[in-house]
Structure 1
Amino acid sequence: MFIGRLPYLSFHSTVTSATVVGLDTEIKKRVKGNKQWMSSRCFVFDGTLSHETILDGSVGILFADPGSEIGEILTKEAGPEKLSANPTWAPELIATCFEIQTSNPDLYPEILNRSFPFNRLTPVKKIQDNDRIINVIRKLIEKPEETINVVELANEIGMSESWLQHEFKNVVGLPIRAFRKWFRIKSAVIAIKDGASLADAALSAGFYDQAHFTNAFREIFGISPSSVFQKGKSIRWYIQNEQIEKILRTP
């Protein structure tokens, strides 16, 4: 989650579903291929949608983990057009963002865990009921720095490569490589939260170097990691690690 004054967000696809709220004024958003701008206080969008955003004032942006209940909620809210505006819970999310802006970072987990939609961060049932997909997810999350061979993964769990690709996307909502990319970036951000530099965080998550991490981050979020995480930036941010622990539970 990012809260604060962010720069213009160039065309990007977030991989996973997300929502953005304007804290001071409405947001302008345009879908790739359309010339017309849309304005709204809150947008919800599917991760496959390529779009750009003009932000005038402070905003809050929430990204859902693939396979989480909140991810399912946001995807359904985005609808068949993959983009919708002003959900009924937008005022609650806006109030949560304002509370975070004036609170000590140590209180962020408490604030978010009692607020929609963070209070619904649990794996969806179709993941909980699929041990073979959980084993694949475990490998992707526990060792983000390792190169993944999908054929070997499929052989390990007794599936064909094509069926694993199909079943993984059906259960999790993302292709395997997109899921791996998301959690590599998340692993790097967790390292930054723990005090690592951008360069060290990038290497620990399996990126070739800081530039590789920066390019991957910009592709998903539309901005560079330095614009969010460098010291002196006024952006409040928080990353929830609980979802990983829930997915990695012992079956």
Structure 2
Amino acid sequence: MQNVICALRGAVLFVGQLPYLAFHSTVTSATVVGLNTEIKKRVKGNGQWMSSRCFVFDGTLSHETVLNGPVGILFADPGSEIGEILTKEAGPRGLSSNPTWAPKLIATCFEIQTANPEQYPNILSDSFPFNQLTPAKKIQDDDRLVNVIRKLIESPEETVNVDELASEIGMSESWLLHEFKNVVGLPIRAFRKWFRIKTAVIAIKHGATLTDAALSAGFYDQAHFTNVFRDIFGISPSVVFKKGESIRWYIQNEEIDKILKVF
């Protein structure tokens, strides 16, 4: 089975093969589905294994996973609308299994596997949880936000100082924090993190080494990129981007990209 990676709306969907995942926390809320078989999972501090076709879990949960066969994993940033949906589904224990929408997500993963990349936008927009999202507002309606986003992506290596950004556009810090998330769908720091990961992933897609991809995205070095990637996804980028392994991609052509002509 060929691996597929789709990035959109503050989330990343991975479909394919992954190895056993030792105890880790993902930082992000996520859901994992076994496409052909059940998945085994246990929480740190509890020796009992659980088996299910689908698990939804909060990012703070430390857990171990045995994957038998191909899987679909949806990672969502905690500040995103999808993150809120999955966190609510995970419940007070931070872990739940077999939600009612699991068969829909499994069907989407199979459809993604057999479709051409140009079909991915329609497939994903009609599937859970993307079909639950409120329509994105148009970023171009506010030049102040465009200027903030431009600064964030043109200098990915710089530390984000929200107060200074707000001052530069003549707005309060609280207004910028609220309006940025309201329009972009992610908090400023989460957007910067995702954008840097996205930049590195696109570089890898075009043949860059992990080191060159990390530097092009504003990480200090490959180790820094690896640590951030592992914090988000619970696995090393070297596991996902194995040499010689073919990956199909879909990076959403967001309004941000259209406006700023980043890529």
TM-score normalised by structure 1 residue count:
0.75
- The residue number in structure 2 matching 1:95 is 107
1:66–1:179 CA contact under 8 A, matched in 2? no
Residues 209-248 of structure 1: pairs in structure 2 closer than 5 A? 209-233=221-245, 238-242=250-254
1:8–1:54 CA contact under 8 A, matched in 2? yes
| 1:22 CA drift (Å) | 0.5
**Residues 236 and 91 (structure 1 numbering): CA distance in 2 closer, same or farther, change over 3 Å?**
farther
Task: For 2:45, give the aligned amino acid.
Answer: G
1:12–1:220 CA contact under 8 A, matched in 2? no
Q: Which of 165, 180, 202 lines up with 2:214 in the alignment?
A: 202
When structure 1 is superposed on structure 2, of 183-192 and 201-210 the one drifting more is 183-192
Task: For 1:62, give the aligned amino acid.
Answer: L
Alpha-carbon separation, structure 1, partners of 2:92 and 2:150: 31
Residues 75-90 of structure 1: pairs in structure 2 closer than 5 A? 75-90=87-102
User: Are 1:62 and 2:74 counterparts?
Assistant: yes
Alpha-carbon separation, structure 1, partners of 2:185 and 2:51: 28
Question: Mind listing any 5+ residue stretches in structure 1 that lack a counterpart?
Answer: 126-130
**Residues 123 and 155 (structure 1 numbering): CA distance in 2 closer, same or farther, change over 3 Å?**
farther
**Residues 108 and 124 (structure 1 numbering): CA distance in 2 closer, same or farther, change over 3 Å?**
closer
When structure 1 is superposed on structure 2, of 18-27 and 150-159 the one drifting more is 150-159
2:55–2:96 CA contact under 8 A, matched in 1? yes
Task: For 1:93, give the aligned amino acid.
Answer: L
Alpha-carbon separation, structure 2, partners of 1:106 and 1:196: 23
Task: For 1:210, give the aligned amino acid.
Answer: Q
User: Are 1:30 and 2:59 counterparts?
Assistant: no
| 1:95 CA drift (Å) | 0.8
**Residues 39 and 203 (structure 1 numbering): CA distance in 2 closer, same or farther, change over 3 Å?**
same
| 1:116 CA drift (Å) | 1.9
| 1:239 CA drift (Å) | 4.1
Q: SS at the partner of 2:65?
A: strand
Question: Mind listing any 5+ residue stretches in structure 2 that lack a counterpart?
Answer: 1-12, 138-142
Task: For 1:208, give the aligned amino acid.
Answer: Y
1:3–1:60 CA contact under 8 A, matched in 2? yes
Alpha-carbon separation, structure 1, partners of 2:62 and 2:69: 22
**Residues 28 and 88 (structure 1 numbering): CA distance in 2 closer, same or farther, change over 3 Å?**
same
Q: SS at the partner of 1:53?
A: strand
Q: Greater share of strand residues, 1 or 2? A: 2
Alpha-carbon separation, structure 1, partners of 2:91 and 2:144: 29
Q: Which of 2, 8, 25 lines up with 2:14 in the alignment?
A: 2
| 1:89 CA drift (Å) | 0.8
Q: SS at the partner of 2:64?
A: strand
Alpha-carbon separation, structure 2, partners of 1:123 and 1:138: 22
Task: For 1:146, give the aligned amino acid.
Answer: E
Please give the root-mean-square deviation of Cα atoms over the aligned residues, in Å: 3.8
Q: Which of 26, 30, 36 lines up with 1:18 in the alignment?
A: 30
Q: SS at the partner of 2:228?
A: helix
Task: For 1:188, give the aligned amino acid.
Answer: A
- The residue number in structure 2 matching 1:71 is 83
Residues 54-203 of structure 1: pairs in structure 2 closer than 5 A? 54-120=66-132, 122=134, 139-140=151-152, 143-150=155-162, 152-153=164-165, 156=168, 180-203=192-215
Alpha-carbon separation, structure 2, partners of 1:18 and 1:180: 20
User: Are 1:45 and 2:57 counterparts?
Assistant: yes
Q: SS at the partner of 1:216?
A: helix
Task: For 1:230, give the aligned amino acid.
Answer: K
| 1:145 CA drift (Å) | 2.7
Percent of aligned pairs sharing the same letter? 79
